[in-house]
């Protein structure tokens, strides 16, 4: 009998703990929603982090990099936004700290301006040469259709072949 009382007491104790934990659950939800309304959102932080590359990893945007350093840099962006910094100020800060290689779009200064000039120039030059090539090919095709083909005898430069041709003409 003692054992059945122990089981009942133990079950009652577990049920009591379970009820207590369930009753505290709404408090956790309330505390989780109590955040600073002026704090920058993850979307605001990621909008800037997308425009920056991880200085440690090569060619990995800061918003998707999983390193601890990138998590710290995203937190730094959050702090700077909370302090009232603008997007351009934050990008300039990272550029000053780690160089222009962290920017997704290099600034148009120094030799970097060639990045903005050369691709359109190459595109338009290629389009111009294609246009010229197609018009020349079309012009040559028109000329070849208009001119009748005339078969000419090829010049025989070898003396032996020339004599052979003469002999064949005589026999006809």
Exposed / middle / buried, residue 60 (Cβ in 10 Å: 0-12, 13-18, 19+)? middle
Let me know if residue 17 belongs to a domain: no
Shared domain for 57 and 95, answered yes or no, is yes
Does the pLDDT at position 126 exceed 90?
yes
Shared domain for 47 and 92, answered yes or no, is yes
Does the pLDDT at position 142 exceed 70?
yes
- Domain total of the chain: 2
The model's pTM is 0.47
| Host domain of residue 121 | 112-142
Shared domain for 80 and 103, answered yes or no, is yes
Q: CB of 62 within 8 A of CB of 52?
A: yes
Per DSSP, 64 falls in state T
What percent of the chain lies above the pLDDT cut of 90?
Answer: 8
Let me know if residue 25 belongs to a domain: no
Measure the CA–CA gap between 65 and 109, rounded to whole angstroms: 28
Does the pLDDT at position 84 exceed 60?
yes
Q: What is the pLDDT of residue 123?
A: 93
């Amino acid at each position: 009998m003692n054992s059945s009382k122990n089981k009942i007491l133990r079950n009652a104790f577990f049920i009591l703990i379970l009820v207590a934990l369930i009753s505290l659950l709404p408090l956790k939800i309330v505390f989780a929603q109590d955040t600073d309304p002026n704090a920058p959102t993850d979307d605001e932080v990621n909008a800037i982090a997308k425009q920056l590359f991880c200085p440690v990893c090569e060619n990995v945007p800061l918003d998707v990099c999983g390193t601890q350093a990138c998590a710290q840099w995203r937190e730094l962006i959050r702090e700077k936004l909370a302090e009232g910094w603008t997007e351009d100020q934050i990008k300039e800060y990272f550029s000053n700290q780690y160089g222009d290689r962290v920017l997704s779009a290099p600034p148009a200064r120094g030799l970097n301006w060639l990045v903005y000039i050369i691709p359109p120039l190459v595109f338009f030059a290629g389009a111009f040469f294609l246009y010229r090539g197609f018009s020349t090919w079309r012009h040559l095709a028109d000329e070849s259709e208009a001119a009748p083909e005339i078969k000419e005898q090829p010049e025989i430069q070898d003396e032996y072949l020339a004599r052979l041709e003469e002999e064949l003409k005589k026999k006809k």
